[in-house]
Chains A and B, each alone.
Chain A
Amino acid sequence: MSKNINSMMLKRQSAEKRFRFYGQASLAIALIMLVVIISSMTYRSIPAFTNYGLNLSINLSKENIAQDNINYRRLIRDNISLLDSGCDDRKCRKEFLRLFSSGAAYELRDTIENDPSLIGKDFSKFILFSDDADLFYKFGIDNSLPESERRLNDREITWLNGFKELGLVEKRFSTNLFTNGDSREPEIAGVLGAVIGSLLTILITLIISFPIGVLSAIYLESFAPKNKLTDFIEVNINNLAAVPSIVFGLLGLALFINFFGMPRSAPLVGGCVLSLMTLPVIIIATRASLQSVPPSIREAALAVGASEMQVVFQHLLPAALPGILTGTIIGLARAFGESAPLLLIGMVAFVVDIPGSFTDPATALPVQVYLWADSPERAFVAKTSAATLVLIFLLIIINLAAVILRKKYQLKW
């Protein structure tokens, strides 16, 4: 009998341990996946932060250039040709030039425009390699593949090895990633345009959704009569918070672009769509935050003769503000990472320029990730990972702001 009980107890205790273990294991799996995602992005992004380039000595003597109008592309080409390629036909020279980034001419232009005293001198300029050459220095090349299937042929590899032996090759931190807009060339593509596009979009979202969200929450919380209509509004808001984001994109396309004729690809429209999406989040957060203010504050204010409006704006709102701002920031962070609705309203365009206004064509950072992830060039894998890191980093900053705000200003009742 007692043996029976003992074995039963053992069974129950091991079941208990198992159950507890399942819980720990699930949590561990979820957390490990989080670590795996972040670390795999970090690991894959490492090559994107550096670029290989060549220290090219440039001969900018006066007779070499027409006085006012410098053909930078030609200048680069001529100076590169001074390196010994051993070419005698056109095709070979073309291959040789293909090893260098096509953005080099623009960089040279910027350098000279910033420092015109360089004209007439010989100086050394850091010229970026093209993505294939860059990847060769970073990872080497798979020699087992036949030459025709490789991105670089044998002659090009010989040149690249030659540069290295001459000591001309240098690895530098890639500032392009943070200071340039999008480009078809991976080595000069950057996220700045997308980041600015995202910020413009979020600014519009904030301007529209914050006042409307807070004021409608105040109405529903403090002034609305309890009737069918306000009940309906409430259910509506709760539902709207769970509507898939892509449906908002459809709304934006049908309403803002096709019906109102607003411009495609503009942060203005993107902001409008995202603000409709963020609105319920802000309303729900504001209501929760207003509810947490103790009723004694309201009653005290009413007792000394304040009107309903004065109670709300002079007493409830200041007390609830930290919570409201936290909720708003969290809603905006969600909008910041959102891409599906933006795809539908045309913010997937290939935009090289950094957008300067709310109606310029622009793209957002998450959409940039999507665009780059679709690009066939191998170098874009690292760029995409780097862009996701930038995205995650910005989101961490935004959320950190929310946490600090809450810690610092939240009142304890």
Chain B
Amino acid sequence: MPNYHGLFVILSSLLPCIIFLIVFISIDGFIKGVIIQNHLPNSLILLGQEEVDFSVSILRNNIHNLQSILSLEILSTDSANSLYNYYFFYRAGFLTLIICITTFLAYLAGKKLNVRFDARRNVEKILKFIFFVFSIVAVLTTFGIILSLIFETVRFFSQVSFSEFLFGIHWSPQTAIREGQVGSSGSFGAIPIFTGTLLITAISMLIAVPLGLYSAIYLSQYARPKVRNYFKPILEILAGIPTVVYGFFAALSVGPFIRSTGESLGLTVSTESALAAGLVMGIMIIPYVSSLSDDVMTAVPESLRDGSLALGATKSETIRKVIFPAALPGIVGAILLAISRAIGETMIVVMAAGLAANLTANPLSAVTTVTVQIVTLLVGDQEFDSPKTLAAFALGLVLFFITLVLNILAMVTVRKYRERYE
């Protein structure tokens, strides 16, 4: 089968070439930086690191257009020419190197081919390896998340103490922009944020768990198959609506509605209340609870149900006393996943819950959450290395860790449940 022989040559020469190219692209920026730095005039280097970094980034972006006014402000025409030559030779050299290597490998692979050579098996070995590398991407993503979060968090804790972050009760991340500015030293006590997150999650669970569970019970135990086939997908639309739409709905309709209702009852309600965000989030979470609960209740063996009904129990008694306890681990798993989803939900709280870090359990006041703070700290202009920016990564790490624990707990409970009945 000549196809495999050709494929073998292509794979064994192009694969290393692609790897080289990826390496090249990822170090290209760095090498450019080094070349540019060597060409900067001494007068500029004396101005300090910041000025150098700035000029390097300008030149790096204009490297194909060094005669522009912007770059000529930094470099003389001569050194701009020399810089371009260096850059050109470095690029051309690398390209030639890659072409040479590829040709050489193709030659080697071609020499290997003969009548006895089992090309198919070799090709499949290479392909299998490529697939394996792809399946590692998911693992790399997780490592990437953990590493980048930990890296920035460590830098954050070199500036802000660990105990202040975890146990402090005052959050105002505005740090001074200039030295010696008054009243903006920044404090990073995250307790108000955690309680705010907890409050909104609790409200949303109060909505989603009963509604989701009862819907699941009705759909899985009472509804005729035709009704079920209709309503289950419709219910799941709730999970498919983009969260930004919920956020807009919460901010535009639910918030003012709660406010006017509260005021007519003589309560003070802020427009951006925890209740509005929690309510809408609860509605969004309903299908997350109901879908999985529905599945696990359907999976409870028919014999248990029949046994209970045969003893004279009504349907609701069977559900409450037999099916529900039997399906409990799966339902707990579903609820844990829903909590994890609620804690990580961003857009609804960004648009409807507000920014004020109040330490309160009053659902009618404005609170803020972990995700809201991450967004506000990182959207817009930001200086790296400031504790304000790094705080977002510390919060992100907390968020990732908590949801990780919840997800794994949920996975373990559901898996145990599945092993028992399936």
A and B: bona fide binding partners? yes
Give the size of the chain A interface in residues (CB under 8 angstroms).
Answer: 86
Stretch at the interface among B72-80, B163-171, B395-403: B395-403
Whether B218 pairs with A16 at a CB distance below 8 angstroms is no
B130 within 8 Å of A (CB atoms): yes
Neighbouring A residues of B371 by C-beta, 8 Å: 244, 246, 340
* Stretch of B9-17, B41-49, B244-252 at the chain-chain interface: B244-252
Q: Note all chain B residues with C-beta closer than 8 A to A339.
A: 242-244, 346-347
In the complex, residue of chain A having the shortest beta-carbon distance to the beta carbon of B213: A26
B220-250 contacts to A, CB under 8 A, are 221-222, 231, 234-235, 237-238, 240-249
Complex alpha-carbon distance, A217 and B343, angstroms: 29
**B29 contacts A by Cβ under 8 Å:** yes
Q: Tell me the total A-B contact number using a CB cutoff of 8 A.
A: 267
Contact A244 B141 (CB under 8 A): no
Complex interface residues of chain B between 243 and 287 (CB less than 8 A to chain A): 243-249, 251-253, 283, 286-287
Among A87-95, A106-114, A231-239, which stretch is in contact with chain B? A231-239
Cβ-defined partner of B130 (8 Å) among A19, A44, A215, A251? A215
Tell me if B203 counts as interface (CB < 8 A to partner A).
no
Stretch at the interface among A59-67, A137-145, A176-184, A387-395: A387-395
Tell me, yes or no, whether A261 is within 8 Å of chain B by CB.
Answer: yes
In whole angstroms, what is the CA distance A260 to B26 when docked?
7
A366 CA / B123 CA spacing, docked (Å) = 44
- Taking CB atoms and an 8 Å cut-off, the chain B residues in 117-133 that contact chain A are 120-121, 123-124, 127-128, 130-132
| Minimum Cβ distance to chain B for residue A24 (Å) | 6
- B131 — which chain A residues lie within 8 A by C-beta? 215-216, 218-219, 223
Flag if B403 contacts A216 (CB, 8 Å). no
Docked Cα-Cα span, A223 to B199, in Å, equals 47
A283, CB-defined interface residue at 8 Å: yes
Distance in Å: Cβ of A317 to nearest Cβ of chain B: 12
Interface size class of B (residues with CB under 8 A): 35 or more
Q: Is B115 an interface residue (CB 8 A)?
A: no
Q: Which of A33-41, A151-159, A166-174 contacts B (4 or more CB under 8 A)?
A: A33-41
Smallest beta-carbon distance B375→chain A, Å: 6
Q: Is the interface of B mostly helix, strand, loop or mixed?
A: helix
The interface bits of chain A over 238-257 (1 if a CB of B lies within 8 angstroms of the residue's CB, else 0) are 11101111111011011100
Of all chain B residues, the one with the shortest Cβ separation from A346 is B379
Given known pairs A24-B218, A220-B135, A237-B138, the reply for A242 and B130 (CB within 8 Å) is no
Q: Which B residues are in CB contact (< 8 Å) with A279?
A: 137-138, 141
5 A–B contacts, CB within 8 A, in A order: A33-B238, A215-B131, A244-B341, A245-B344, A369-B245
Give me the interface of A with B, judged by CB distance under 8 Å.
12-13, 15-16, 18-20, 22-27, 29-31, 33-34, 37, 40-41, 44, 211-212, 215-220, 223-224, 232-233, 235-240, 242-248, 250-251, 253-255, 258-261, 276, 279-280, 283, 307-309, 333-334, 336-340, 343-344, 348, 366-367, 369-370, 373, 381, 384-385, 388, 391-392, 395, 399
Which residues of B are interface residues toward A (Cβ below 8 A)?
A: 26, 29, 120-121, 123-124, 127-128, 130-132, 134-139, 141-142, 144-145, 148-149, 151-152, 210-215, 217-219, 221-222, 231, 234-235, 237-238, 240-249, 251-253, 283, 286-287, 290, 314-317, 319-320, 337, 340-341, 343-347, 350-351, 371, 374-375, 378-379, 384, 392-393, 396, 399-400, 403-404, 407-408, 410-411
18 new A-B contacts, CB < 8 A, other than A16-B315, A24-B222, are: A24-B218, A26-B218, A34-B241, A37-B246, A215-B134, A224-B135, A240-B141, A242-B340, A243-B344, A246-B396, A251-B144, A309-B124, A337-B242, A339-B242, A340-B350, A366-B347, A369-B248, A392-B241
